Structure 1
């Protein structure tokens, strides 16, 4: 058995996702842009349903599409969204802040980690914008700051998961169980088992991880 995190835009498909075997839900609005934060109402109804099946719910904290460089006002917005998510009983957040140089925005991330204390934290695919030669260093930083997992495609988004698997394996091996490497992007119910076997992991992420949802 392995954990299947399904990424959904709204509550509508949550019941069918769980019926098809999803074991964690990530709420992520406006997927064509890479995802933004869903409404409080979507969080609340999703949590109410998922709690009946003991399915954890993660929510992306991202105020807009585009890059991952946030100004002070955007960080305030993210902080308010984290407070709302915590008050509703969300299990964790998915977030990532970068500098103009595509390194972790350490000040912003430390602020967010303080605000989200007690929640699981996944550093999202902003990780794939970090230069390859600094990604091991980034893993070290995230481990030191208590981040539980990194969602990554292992390369640029338009490359298939089959192409990026070797890089993902390097990341998994370097992480060495100190942090979870959560592969995503092009993983479906058809290839998930092969990805898991190749990488030696037990969590996968995708919009079609349990098949196509209505």
Structure 2
């Protein structure tokens, strides 16, 4: 079974969700910069609206646009946002933290883990900034931290045609071997997702053009 996750900006796109095969929404704000944390009120209203439709939610935890290197103040903001998202009965959290040399920020992840209260964790497309040769070890580390899903385009620029990245995406799916879900996004649409799933072996897709 293929899981289709619709990426929604704020509350504006939720009225589009008439398709019964959308079972999860990633909720964020500011898609122009790749998505940031939505407000308390947006999370509250979206969770209530979507849960009534039996659609689960994954809430973006990202305090700003730009890179994924966060200082102590930003980490505290992320902790607070995580606590609020959990309080509002969100179903999953979406985050990504890197070091200056584009490796996993293990110290930052470990700081945030207690606040997540066991909610499913998704590492977003910051993963694509990790050098490809290091992504397999990064995957192992994320599995160790309890992450359940990685969202990836397969290329660090995030803009190239996803069909150019099939070999690497397939390698990630094979390495994951069911231990963590590899969710593909960035150029995935309602017209091409089935072909992408067939070519990569991924079972989860993500995008704004899936409906």
TM range (shorter): over 0.9
TM-score of the superposed pair, with normalisation by structure 1: 0.95
Asked if structure 1 preserves the Cα contact closer than 8 Å seen for 2:182 and 2:203, the reply is: no
Offset of residue 20 of structure 1: 5.9
Offset of residue 18 of structure 1: 4.2
Alignment partner of 1:23: what SS? strand
- Please give the alpha-carbon distance, in whole angstroms, between the structure 1 residues aligned to 2:178 and 2:65: 31
Alignment partner of 2:13: what SS? helix
TM-score of the superposed pair, with normalisation by structure 2: 0.96
- Please give the alpha-carbon distance, in whole angstroms, between the structure 1 residues aligned to 2:129 and 2:18: 31
Alignment partner of 2:15: what SS? helix
Question: Does 2:202 align with 1:201?
Answer: yes
Residue deviations 1:73-96 (CA, integer Å, cap 9, x gap): 000000000011011100111001
| Equivalence for 2:176 | 175
| Equivalence for 2:189 | 188
- Please give the alpha-carbon distance, in whole angstroms, between the structure 1 residues aligned to 2:139 and 2:125: 13
- Please give the alpha-carbon distance, in whole angstroms, between the structure 1 residues aligned to 2:20 and 2:209: 11
Superposed, 1:11-26 pairs within 5 Å as 11-19=11-19, 21-26=21-26
Question: Does 2:53 align with 1:58?
Answer: no
Q: Structure 1 stretches (4+) deviating beyond 3 angstroms?
A: 18-21
| Equivalence for 2:67 | 67
| Equivalence for 1:119 | 119
Alignment partner of 2:197: what SS? helix
- Please give the alpha-carbon distance, in whole angstroms, between the structure 2 residues aligned to 1:137 and 1:195: 24
Which runs of 5 or more structure 1 residues have no equivalent in the other structure? none
Residue deviations 1:105-135 (CA, integer Å, cap 9, x gap): 1011112122102211000001000011100
- Please give the alpha-carbon distance, in whole angstroms, between the structure 1 residues aligned to 2:124 and 2:52: 27
Superposed, 1:7-156 pairs within 5 Å as 7-19=7-19, 21-155=21-155, 156=157
- Please give the alpha-carbon distance, in whole angstroms, between the structure 1 residues aligned to 2:127 and 2:8: 20
- Please give the alpha-carbon distance, in whole angstroms, between the structure 2 residues aligned to 1:186 and 1:129: 17
Which runs of 5 or more structure 2 residues have no equivalent in the other structure? none
